[in-house]
Every structure is written in structure tokens, then in C-alpha cells.
């Protein structure tokens, strides 16, 4: 399994648009067979700061996700809403070790 954590800073005047577009992307993402989890988190201290917490079955699933129409539409839509480029990092899962535990 692979976890991707994406840190995003959104322009204050674009928050509602970003949330709407990101929740639509989440709906498409969780329907993908290789996606085990796709959480959208907003900072309580800084409402413009978001984390996407994505859990994929394997590397192939992460690559397949990037080819979907819903991801491509999200990426194009939210790019101008960001105050700075998004930062994504991949993590290897140590626990829980079984996909059923997610």
C-alpha cells in the first residue's frame, strides 16, 4: 500500500470553489478499484490549508488515479485557486498492513 499526503494552500477568496471541486474529485476517487481511502482535511487554524490523505493499493493504482477524467478536471480547475504549488509526499504503510483494515 502507498499513502500520498498532499499539502495545499488555497487563496482565501477561492475556498468554497476549491472545496466543491475537491469533494467532487474525492467522489470519483473512492470509486476507483485501487483507492482504499481518500480523505479531505481542512486546517482549523488556517482555513486555506488543506491536506489530502490518499491510500492506494499499489503504485499502479496511484498512476491509474492520475489518468482519470475526474482527477484531470480537478487538477485544471484548482490550479489557479492555489496560493502556492501543492506539495505531495508518498509514504510506505507499516500499519495497518491489510487493506481490509482501512
Q: What is the pLDDT of residues 37-78, one digit of tens each?
A: 999 999 999 999 999 999 999 999 999 999 999 999 999 999
pLDDT tens digit sequence for 11-27: 999 999 999 999 999 99
Q: Where are the domains of the chain?
A: 2-95
Question: How are beta strands 2-9 and 35-42 bridged, if at all?
Answer: unpaired
Q: Which three cell numbers stand for residue 71?
A: 482527477
Has domain 2-95 been given CATH number 3.30.70.100?
Answer: yes
Start-end of H helices in 1-102: 15-30, 59-66, 69-78
Look at residue 99 and tell me whether its pLDDT is greater than 80: no
pTM for this predicted structure: 0.91
Q: How confident is the model at residue 101 (pLDDT cuts 50, 70, 90)?
A: confident
Say what the pLDDT of residue 20 is. 98
Amino acid at each position: 500500500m502507498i499513502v500520498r499526503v498532499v499539502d495545499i494552500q488555497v487563496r482565501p477568496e477561492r475556498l468554497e470553489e476549491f472545496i466543491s471541486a475537491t469533494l467532487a474529485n474525492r467522489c470519483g476517487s473512492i470509486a476507483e478499484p485501487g483507492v482504499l481511502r481518500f480523505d479531505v482535511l481542512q486546517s482549523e487554524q488556517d482555513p486555506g490549508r488543506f491536506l489530502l490523505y490518499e491510500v492506494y493499493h499499489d503504485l499502479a493504482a496511484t498512476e491509474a488515479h492520475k489518468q482519470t477524467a475526474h482527477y484531470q478536471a480537478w487538477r485544471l480547475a484548482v490550479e489557479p485557486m492555489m496560493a502556492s504549488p501543492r506539495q505531495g509526499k508518498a509514504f510506505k504503510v507499516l500499519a495497518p498492513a491489510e487493506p481490509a483494515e482501512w
